[in-house]
Structure formats: structure tokens, C-alpha cells
Structure 1
């Protein structure tokens, strides 16, 4: 599979764990890292490997991937990925645990795109979604030919915007917006309590598609205790979920530092 990751400098620890996990479940994975020119990874932070393509992008991201320019830029990047295979867009702070649901969506149900519903009804979460090349082309064409109001109230977050465009074009017959269903497909981590994380780690290995660890408002206890940045705390949570061995908070000491 092809994996598109739109990253920036603070992602570097999360990014390594994200790649490590995908490699463990998809030996044919090809990674396409699209870095932010406004704050790119340092050269020493860019992951190495024959399975990695790295490119710096210059479109405005308006924080966490917002705005029409950002949406167009992201779709263009994904369309430029070599070949015709679908593209899985995944965030650096997300762990892909089991791609079976993605494969069912694309192959068994014949969808042109899909994702897992977020807090916005009929829109998918930006942490992990999948697109075929025809869907990407169609979305770009619609963006080019229709009127799109731009004002202070129109933020156009990439996940909501892309999913709604594709639902407009293909309807539910062509696009999956998989229901949350109590975390059976997607787990959003909202804790840094080691006992809770150990349980999440157990659940994550039971057929869950992905675990999103980017809800950083819940990680301030790690920041205050260990003097790390909020994204470093996020990486520690990701590490814990991948390596949890029990509800012992001292295990956090083994998480990557620096």
C-alpha cells in the first residue's frame, strides 16, 4: 500500500513509531512524507529507507491542515504518488493496527474512498482515510469548477472537506464513512493513565483499524512530570500502546527521549 503522511518538525518522534508499526503489518508499504516548508524536519530527523520518499511542500497549512489551498495541495501530492494504487492518508500520531477494514472497503465493497466517522456526522476523521486515484482526480476537478466561499467562518478542515466532496460526488454507494461503534474500528486516546493505556493496547490488538494518539490536551501530566514537549508526550503514549506490558507507570521511562 501507499501511505501519505503530511508532517512537520514536531512530528519526528511520532513519525518513527507510526512507520515502525506500519512496516510490521505491511511489508510492501511505500511511504510518501510531505513535510511543511514553514517548519520542516531537520535533516537528521528525516526517516531513512528504500521505502521512503520525502518531499517538502509549500502550500499553507493554516495550523492543522485547514483551508482550500491546503486541501488542493494535499490532493495534488497524493495524486502525484507513482502508480495507480490507492493511497492511505495517515497522521504521524496515528498507529495503523490492522488494515483489514481498509482492504474490505476498497476490494470487497468496491468503494472509491473511505474513512472512519469523526465527531462531525457524515465526515471522516483525518487521522486515517483512503482514496483511489479516480476519487482524488474527481475531487480536484470539483474544487476547480465550483464556487467555494472563503471567509473567516469557512475553515475547510481537510478531513471534513475531502470526505464531503467525495460523498457529494459518489454518495454512500461509493464512499465509506464507517461508524465509530464504541471504538471497534478507531480508538481515540484521551488519557495518559498507564492502566487505561494498557487496556487500550489490549483492545488495539483485537481487530481495531487504527489508534489515534493526537488528542494532546490529555497529555499535560506527562509534560509537567518529565519536562518534555506535548508532541514528545504524544510519542510516549504511542510507544506505550505498542510496547505495553502492564499498568506500571515506570515503563514510561523506556519511551524514546529527545
Structure 2
């Protein structure tokens, strides 16, 4: 089973809805759970939309320290990922502002012998926008992190990532290099808010796209969900003649 977890809060409700739409279209058989922040939850209409688009909805009480930082947040996230997982499940954590447009890299983990997969700067760490691990990896990492001494500002992605890599080794995982001008074969990317030539058509062929990259002052936060929904429409609802609907 593929289990996808999205940790969000009221300020990202629109992005969370778009994220769920993309994830469900990319991996229809997945079980998607939105973990909202009880302290700043999504409004009722957003919760209804999340469920309508195929997600389960729950709230968490652990402190998130702004952007998923700190020991309580790290432990809250990894324990959530591990809680319902069978050893051979694939467990995915994704950010609200990230569009999953192709789930093949997640499905390919089953039976491959690898225990983790993510995009990252090097083989010893991975980015938090979207990562996957086996249920066994999540449970073993949870057992370690629930007992570990963590710094007050411990970032969720680096802390969990390094723990999983330390437990299973570089050879039992896969780092996917993101797109850069030097790596044009990369299939993970960040929406370029500063480009006048950027379009959903140019990004719809990527596997994972984050819209959480810096924006110029004249572009509002509301445009993040707009772009994610445009990516969803173009990637999953193209007409047979190739135009977007």
C-alpha cells in the first residue's frame, strides 16, 4: 500500500487542496491523509474539499515551530508516518505547496530493495518537499527519534532523512537530482516565479514541482494554488488534441 501524508495548516488550505488533487491523480490507489494543525486549522469548507477530493482528514497537536522544526515536530511527523504502516508499505511525506505529477518513482520502490527515495543535495540528506520510505524504515526511524536528543531547531527533513540513511545506508536508497541548468534531465523542479516565460505546459512533464520557491513582491501567495491547479489540469486533463482543458 502507498500511504501519502500531507502536513498543513489553515494558511495553506488552498495549496493543500491542490496538492491532494495532484497526488490522487498521480497515484489513484494511494491512501492520502491530511494532517492539519489543530492550533491553526483549515476552514470547514477546505476540510470538506480535501475529503471530497479523496483525502482522509485529521488534526495534530504537536508544535510545528513555523516550518516543521523542533524535536516535538520531528517526532510528531515520523510517528505519524510510522503509525499505520506495514513493513512493506511505501510511506510518502509531501508539502502543501508541492505538486506530485508522476508517481512512478514511488511505485518503483516496491520490490526494488530500496528503503528510501527523495531529491536532495547529496547522498547524505534529502529535501522535505516530498520523500518516500518503506514502512519498516519509518518505524525504525521513529524508534530512534523518539529517544534521541535533538536540537531545539531540528529541521524535520534533514533530521528524518539523516536518520533513515544512517539506519539503512546510502546503498539502500535513492537520491534523485533536481533539475538545474547543468542537469536538464532532472525531473524534480521548483516553479520559477521570476521568469516571464514560465508556463504549466513547461512544467507538466516533471515528476514533482514545488511552488514554494521565492516570489517577487508583486506575486501574491494566492498564486501558488492557482499554479498548482493549472499543473493539475494540464498534466491530468489534457484533451486528446494536446491542448489543456
TM-score (norm 2): 0.83
Instruction: Give unmatched runs, 5+ long, in structure 1.
Output: 224-229, 246-258
- 2:4 and 2:84 map into 1 onto residues whose CA distance is 9
Shift of 1:212: 0.7
2:191 is matched with which residue: 177, 189, 192? 189
- Other-structure match for 1:180: 178
- 1:102 and 1:185 map into 2 onto residues whose CA distance is 13
SS at match of 1:3: strand
- 2:81 and 2:21 map into 1 onto residues whose CA distance is 21
Instruction: Give unmatched runs, 5+ long, in structure 2.
Output: 236-245
Deviation sequence 1:34-63 (CA, Å, 0-9, x none): 111120111221022384221110111011
| Residues 1:51 and 1:196: Cα distance change in structure 2 (over 3 Å) | closer
- 1:194 and 1:243 map into 2 onto residues whose CA distance is 20
Shift of 1:195: 2.2
1:202 aligns with 2:202: yes
1:170 aligns with 2:168: yes
- Other-structure match for 1:227: none
Shift of 1:95: 0.8
Deviation sequence 1:215-255 (CA, Å, 0-9, x none): 1x3153223xxxxxx2x12112223334469xxxxxxxxxx
> Is the contact made by 1:32 and 1:81 (CA closer than 8 Å) also made in structure 2?
no
1:222 aligns with 2:219: yes
1:127 aligns with 2:125: no
SS at match of 1:222: coil
Shift of 1:66: 0.5
1:159 aligns with 2:160: no
- 1:235 and 1:243 map into 2 onto residues whose CA distance is 12
Q: Which has the higher helix share?
A: 1
1:78 aligns with 2:70: no
| Residues 1:219 and 1:5: Cα distance change in structure 2 (over 3 Å) | farther
Q: Return 185-194 or 6-15, whichever deviates more.
A: 185-194
- Other-structure match for 2:240: none
Which residues in structure 2 correspond to 1:30-109 (within 5 Å)?
30-46=31-47, 47-49=50-52, 51-81=54-84, 83=86, 85-104=89-108, 106-107=109-110, 109=112
| Residues 1:242 and 1:147: Cα distance change in structure 2 (over 3 Å) | closer
- 2:134 and 2:65 map into 1 onto residues whose CA distance is 26
RMSD over equivalenced CA pairs, Å: 2.4
2:143 is matched with which residue: 126, 141, 144? 141
